[in-house]
């Protein structure tokens, strides 16, 4: 493309030099030949440019068209499979109830252990050893 464009410019430059020549002379024939060559080069250039733009457009369309291809259309399921919210809520309630009961037993055991003087000493030693690094 650039080669054709430069050739057209070159021929136009040569034509500008020869335009002042009379039509019957040797230079006149050279002038006519250069005009013909210039016109042929321009038509080739225009044709090549049109083909280039057509190919470029085809490539762009092809790239946009092949972003993804649907192989099988998705259909909604007949029955929900998961998550089953009712089960999850009931399990959370049961687990939290179990943990609350366990916490209540642990706190009650701690309160009773603090009331017993022998157990209170052991708890104080244990908490002292845990605090010091």
Instruction: Evaluate whether 28 touches 21 at the Cβ level (below 8 Å).
Output: yes
Same-domain check for residues 6 and 59 = yes
Domain hosting residue 42, numbered range: 2-65
As a whole number, mean pLDDT of residues 64-77 equals 80
- The reported pLDDT for the residue numbered 17 is 66
- pLDDT of 39 over the 80 cut: yes
When pLDDT is cut at 50, 70 and 90, the band that residue 106 belongs to is very high
Instruction: Evaluate whether 41 touches 4 at the Cβ level (below 8 Å).
Output: yes
Q: Is 86 exposed, middle or buried (0-12, 13-18, 19+ CB in 10 A)?
A: exposed
Which pTM does this prediction carry?
0.36
Same-domain check for residues 57 and 93 = no
- Indicate whether 74 belongs to any domain: no
- The reported pLDDT for the residue numbered 32 is 77
- The reported pLDDT for the residue numbered 2 is 77
Domain count across the chain:
2
Same-domain check for residues 61 and 95 = no
- Indicate whether 58 belongs to any domain: yes
As a whole number, mean pLDDT of residues 19-31 equals 66
Same-domain check for residues 8 and 56 = yes
Same-domain check for residues 55 and 92 = no
- pLDDT of 38 over the 90 cut: no
């Amino acid at each position: 493309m650039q080669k054709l464009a430069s050739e057209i410019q070159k021929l136009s430059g040569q034509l500008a030099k020869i335009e002042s020549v009379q039509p019957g002379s040797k230079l006149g024939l050279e002038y006519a030949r250069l005009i013909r060559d210039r016109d042929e080069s321009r038509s080739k250039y225009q044709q090549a440019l049109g083909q280039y733009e057509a190919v470029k457009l085809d490539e762009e369309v092809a790239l946009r068209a092949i972003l993804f291809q649907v192989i099988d259309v998705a259909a909604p399921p007949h029955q929900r499979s998961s998550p089953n919210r009712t089960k999850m809520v009931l399990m959370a309630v049961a687990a939290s109830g179990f943990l609350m009961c366990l916490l209540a037993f642990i706190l009650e055991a701690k309160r009773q252990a603090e009331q017993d003087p022998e157990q209170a000493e052991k708890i104080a030693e244990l908490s002292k050893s845990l605090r010091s690094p």
